[in-house]
Amino acid sequence: MQPPHAAKLAHQIEIHGDPIVDDYFWLRDHLGVRLRVRDNPQVMEYLKAENDYTEQVLQPHAELRESLFQELKARVKEDDLSVPVKKDGYYYYSRVAVGKQYAIHCRKLGDLNSPEEIILDENQLAEGKPYFQLGTFSISPNHQLLAYAEDTDGSETYTR
């Protein structure tokens, strides 16, 4: 199998007054209208060809890849806790539970022996979604409100 080659389509852009030719601009922009990559069939076709080629080239090493993955996974602490940060009377921290993919954001009032209050569970937010990434996350000055942004399709367009 031959590796796929992205077509070179010269496209001139100007950055800080300097003209630059970007032969691969089409991979991020289609007909001058900014679209998500998933909405551009030519880009998706090329990315699929790249992925198929990679899988075929690495197929002879499937056992080694799996072995390395399991070794790395065994070295990662599945239940982890961030260092608590004190803000006013609260200690804020995040933790990852065994078997969970995303962080659970928590706080404790007064001291670290106080009962835990879960303020945001990314695992619940991600449930049923093909993709999830938490963007910005902020507690109001009076500690009563929480604002956050999420990306649920990989477009890096955050909502909430």
Same domain, 71 and 91: no
Same domain, 101 and 56: no
Token readout for 107 is 């706080």
Q: Note whether residue 97 is domain-resident.
A: yes
Distance separating alpha carbons of residues 21 and 43, to the nearest angstrom = 19
Quick check: 34 pLDDT over 60?
Answer: no
Q: Note whether residue 159 is domain-resident.
A: no
Q: What is the pLDDT of residue 99?
A: 87
Q: What are phi and psi of 135, to 5 degrees?
A: -95, -125
Q: Which residues contact 138 (CB under 8 A, 6 or more apart)?
A: 146, 147, 148
Q: What is the pLDDT of residue 4?
A: 95
Residue 35: which pLDDT band, with cuts at 50, 70 and 90?
low
CB–CB of 133/117 below 8 Å? Answer: no
Q: Note whether residue 138 is domain-resident.
A: yes
Same domain, 118 and 59: no
Distance separating alpha carbons of residues 29 and 6, to the nearest angstrom = 14
Instruction: List Cα–Cα distances, 147 to 5, 76, 80, 117, 160, in angstroms.
Output: 43, 30, 24, 16, 8
CB–CB of 146/120 below 8 Å? Answer: yes
Same domain, 111 and 85: yes
Same domain, 84 and 132: yes
Quick check: 160 pLDDT over 80?
Answer: no
Compute the mean pLDDT over every residue in the chain, rounded to the nearest whole number. 90
Distance separating alpha carbons of residues 92 and 138, to the nearest angstrom = 11
Q: What is the pLDDT of residue 48?
A: 92
Q: Note whether residue 1 is domain-resident.
A: no
Same domain, 16 and 70: yes
Rounded to a whole number of angstroms, the CA Rg of the chain reads: 22
Q: What is the pLDDT of residue 77?
A: 81
Q: Note whether residue 84 is domain-resident.
A: yes
Same domain, 57 and 98: no
- Structural domain ending residue among the three candidates 53, 75, 97: 75
Domain of residue 38 covers 12-75
Q: What are phi and psi of 93, to 5 degrees?
A: -160, 170
Domain count, the chain: 2
What are the pLDDT digits (tens) for 65-102?
A: 999 999 998 888 888 899 999 999 999 999 999 889 99
Query: In the chain, what percentage of residues exceed pLDDT 70?
Result: 94
Same domain, 86 and 146: yes
Same domain, 28 and 63: yes
